[in-house]
Structure 1
């Protein structure tokens, strides 16, 4: 039998973690701001359901990676408050993983949003933006 009370409590703890992530972690705030911009661009460019699925998956993956990175860093700081080369390597690898995923998300965004934007510009007849008034 499933203990519904325990499930709801677990959701509460997860919610507290998400709130703490975006409240205290600067990089998570940056990812949140970028996600809002991408979502607004997606609404403006009228993404298809499949495109939304890919974009939202990328956003979720970057946020999850940032949460894992934050958890690993906090654990490292708790276990070894001083400077230690192994702790530095662990933290660098963890933040590197977030960076790899963020790069992949940016590329996906360029493919989807950039392709839509190019199509929109071609439909409206804007294929060339002059750099001078000549």
Structure 2
């Protein structure tokens, strides 16, 4: 195993995440949402298993946004001019992000609403 190459792979991966943070508005929006959800979790006293679910949802959203961004960049590279299939590929990748985001909201509501109802009532 080449430890130098292994170490550089972490550098490249970090550069990829930072590039997404700098250039992708949706990624920054998800970072903000993750911060808000994390604060809400702290203030509502999530259980260990609830935190595990929330962390998996948050990082799952980050991962799918990164994959979506990579797909968009590759499509732009291989198809700089408009092409229907290129547009469909980008739309489908964005759709995957939307579906996962809806899933995270539903699960988040399932976790948080019972806790908020105890606090409010």
Q: TM-score, normalised by structure 1?
A: 0.87
Q: C-alpha distance in 1, partners of 2:21/2:87?
A: 24
Q: C-alpha distance in 2, partners of 1:44/1:4?
A: 42
Q: C-alpha distance in 2, partners of 1:21/1:37?
A: 20
Unaligned runs of 5+ in 1: 122-126, 128-134
Residue 35 of structure 1 aligns with which residue? Answer: 34
Q: C-alpha distance in 1, partners of 2:114/2:106?
A: 12
Q: C-alpha distance in 1, partners of 2:48/2:5?
A: 34
Residue 116 of structure 1 aligns with which residue? Answer: 115
Q: C-alpha distance in 1, partners of 2:31/2:113?
A: 20
Q: C-alpha distance in 2, partners of 1:114/1:72?
A: 35
Unaligned runs of 5+ in 2: none
Give the CA RMSD over aligned residues: 0.8
Residue 79 of structure 2 aligns with which residue? Answer: 80
Residue 65 of structure 1 aligns with which residue? Answer: 64
Cα displacement (A) at 1:3: 2.0
Q: C-alpha distance in 2, partners of 1:18/1:74?
A: 14
Residue 132 of structure 1 aligns with which residue? Answer: none
Residue aligned with 1:81, SS: coil
Q: C-alpha distance in 2, partners of 1:114/1:31?
A: 20
Q: TM-score, normalised by structure 2?
A: 0.96
For this pair of structures, how many residues does the alignment match?
Answer: 121
Find runs of 4+ consecutive structure 1 residues off by over 4 angstroms: none
- Structure index of larger Rg: 1
* Alignment pair present for 1:44 and 2:48: no
CA deviations on 1:92-112 (whole Å, 9 max, x unpaired) are 100000000000000111111
Q: C-alpha distance in 2, partners of 1:118/1:51?
A: 17
